[in-house]
Structure 1
Amino acid sequence: MNAPVNAPAELLIDSAAGPARVTTPAPREVWWELASLDVDTHVTQTPTWLDCLCATGPYQEASRLYEFEDGSRMVLPLVRRRRRPQWLGAEESWPAEWGIGGPLAPGGVGPAKAQALFDDLAGRHALRVGVRFRPGDTEVWEKAAPAGFRPESHMTQVVCLDGGFGTVWESRFHTRVRRDVRRAEKSDVEVEVDRAGRLVPVFHELYEKSIERWAVQQHEPLTLARWRRRRAFPSQRLAAVATGFGEACSIWVAWYAGRPAAAIVVLRHGRHAKLWRAAMDRELAHPVRATSLLNRLAIEEACLADCGSYDMGESSPGSSLAHFKEGFGADTCASPRYVRERLPVSAAERALRTVVKRAIRFKDA
């Protein structure tokens, strides 16, 4: 799956790291080369992820390749809104709900090149420019960020897989998680894994049940909950991801009493595995701890594939979901987002959301 892109454009810039050539969109062969050389590349920093985003949302590619005098190169995954003037649009890496973006740079990024990227983005004409950086890169970007870029706090919970599954099971899984997994294994739960997209409809069936449960938990009208969730996660998106990633996209489904009880979607690139989506029928899944079993199996598979981490995604600090992930040994890692806006659009959006939440007595889960 390849998203349509404009013909590449090149320009020369004077940067804090010296003269640099910028090519946009970034040539795919170079992007893939850097993704293979940068061992910290996440699933969500690959061209495949961008293609899925553009195929299922109102976006087009705006990625940027930076080539410096010393021969080093850096790619910034980036998209912009389609059918919108640049001065009214956004250029982001990534939009909300699409996780960690940020540049790929084999060998790391020093202060001068970090400054070069921020200076280039500061000159963009878009109403909003935003980049969410991956864990481990935070210090250099924090020091380089100019005053015009506002930091937004984000985190992700990551299970370290060093030492193999035996070490993860014995030393990182909490006792309660091991107990839950054994409970599931003793029940009549049957697990199926699909790497061809066949179980996409089953996942969506469970996802609709999850939306209903979340609406009740959050005191949110079901119609609003469905509109909001489907807007963030369109029905065609999982099918696009399953097709784009192929065998690197695994849909795990736990069946109980002949019915789907829980499902998770796990993506993989290089040494990184990512728990992307999860859904369940709580009445079926919770008594037999089906979701715990699915994550245990996915983590074991990631270990066998020589992955170094299992990214379980972002959660609200102190929430029950964060507590669930901590049970698998997930550490909380900072993954900040830096935003530059020409008008206070985000503040207005937050104020509007606050008003709506108060009106419906919304409860954050």
Structure 2
Amino acid sequence: MARRQERWERLSPAWEVSGEVPAHEWSDVLHSDPEALASQSPAWVEAVCSFSSYVDVSRLYRRRDGSRLVLPIVSPRFMPPSVASRLSMPEGCSTGGVLAEHGRLSREDLAVVMADLARRPLASVVVRPNPRLGHYWSDAAPWTTVRDVHAQVLDLGGGFGEVWPHRFRSSVRRAVRKAERSRLTVERDTTGALMADFHTMYTQSVIRWAGQEGVPPVVARLRAARGESLRKFLTVGVTLGPACTTWMAYLDGEPAAGIIVLTQGRNDTYWRGAMNQDLAGPSRANDLLHRLAIEDACERGMERYFFGISNPGSSLERFKAGFGAQHVPYSDYFWEGLPLVRTVHQVRRRAYRALQRTDRVLRRAHRGSRRT
């Protein structure tokens, strides 16, 4: 701890640090940073703290020349500071990382931020940065765990007149035309009114995705109920307001597919998506929704459409690449006093394997009882 304090004292003379970020200063920095994402906004942090057991502990850093950095960060509400984590952002709550006034970010800035955090009696620091800025973080601290992640980002330069014919693959354009000829109807909302329909479909999708990964249905349901509740979606929709757009496609009145897009500055982020596979697959509802969301982004002057993360070579990555999204490798960073992240992941893997074995036994018993 003494060594960390000494490091901070060497770096700190050029900086003024505040544990409270006035709303107007956060807003100033947010709107001046061309790389800023919706998940770095004060509204997003307010939403995260509302639907989960976190408290806002964001920090403001002011250089001697007056320019500012803001680190949106949260901590577990009911844990003492000496054992609490600092998360920017928690898992399932999109990306965090530092906002820099006018986009003036350097590796030296991040070294100062991490030196400030490391001098405090914290259990861990987690940073899930903007994919386009992930490389700045690699030397910011002696990270105990670095987890490789892969994102896809679509450049909207030139507008939809450039994106549609030159970045969308022909297969996606054909899929969109098929969807436009179908009986699909599309609704767009920025009030949260479509969140209930979206959440019902999203929960079904989570269970389906988990089954594809070999996760037992009971675990998938618990995971969805805990981490992806309707309250979470409604809170995001209401708190972000016009910055959160829900697109829903209906086939003969039945929800077929939905996506949620978050907006900040010149960047749109595809945050969540779900579908009824039996309806969305044949109608190509997902292709249509992304086409509409991307066209809408272009009309509003957006520069980038963040497609989120996906595994290289997966069907999800191929789907996103069809719209012209480019592969962006980056990392999530963990600094820990104790190797908790690795331990938690090992415990989860063992628990999943045990539940998978139990699930197989129960399935065999069920099939046997049906035969008799």
Q: What is the TM-score when the length of structure 2 is the normalising length?
A: 0.89
- Given that residues 49 and 56 in structure 2 are in contact (C-alpha distance below 8 angstroms), is that contact kept between their aligned partners in structure 1? yes
Partners of 1:307 and 1:17 lie apart in 2 by: 37
Aligned to 2:113: 117
Aligned with residue 329 of structure 2, among 316, 331, 334:
334
Matched, 1:138 2:138: no
- Tell me which protein shows more helix as a share of its residues: 2
Please give the root-mean-square deviation of Cα atoms over the aligned residues, in Å.
Answer: 1.7
Aligned with residue 317 of structure 1, among 312, 315, 320:
312
Partners of 1:212 and 1:91 lie apart in 2 by: 30
Partners of 1:159 and 1:278 lie apart in 2 by: 17
Aligned to 1:6: none
Aligned to 1:245: 240
What SS is found at the alignment partner of 2:158? coil
Structure 2, unpaired ranges of 5+: 1-7, 358-372
The structure whose Rg is larger is 2
Aligned with residue 206 of structure 1, among 201, 204, 227:
201
Q: 1:15 to 1:235 in 2, by over 3 A?
A: farther
Aligned to 1:161: 156
Identity, in percent, stands at 38
Give how far 1:361 is off: 4.6
Partners of 1:43 and 1:209 lie apart in 2 by: 26
Q: List aligned pairs for 1:266-277, cutoff 5 A.
A: 266-277=261-272
Q: 1:110 to 1:258 in 2, by over 3 A?
A: closer
What SS is found at the alignment partner of 1:170? helix
Give how far 1:275 is off: 0.8
- Given that residues 266 and 274 in structure 1 are in contact (C-alpha distance below 8 angstroms), is that contact kept between their aligned partners in structure 2? yes
Which amino acid is the alignment partner of residue 56 of structure 2? E
Q: List aligned pairs for 1:51-70, cutoff 5 A.
A: 51-70=46-65
Aligned to 1:86: 81
Aligned to 2:174: 179
Give how far 1:179 is off: 1.1
**CA deviation string 1:29-57 (max 9, x = no partner):** 10000011111111111001101100000
**CA deviation string 1:87-134 (max 9, x = no partner):** 222111011111211111124223432221121122121211111221
Aligned to 2:360: none
Compare 282-291 and 113-122 and name the one that shifted more: 113-122
- Given that residues 17 and 68 in structure 1 are in contact (C-alpha distance below 8 angstroms), is that contact kept between their aligned partners in structure 2? no
Give how far 1:27 is off: 1.3
Aligned to 1:194: 189
**CA deviation string 1:243-262 (max 9, x = no partner):** 11112211111111221111
Compare 106-115 and 239-248 and name the one that shifted more: 106-115
Partners of 1:201 and 1:111 lie apart in 2 by: 42
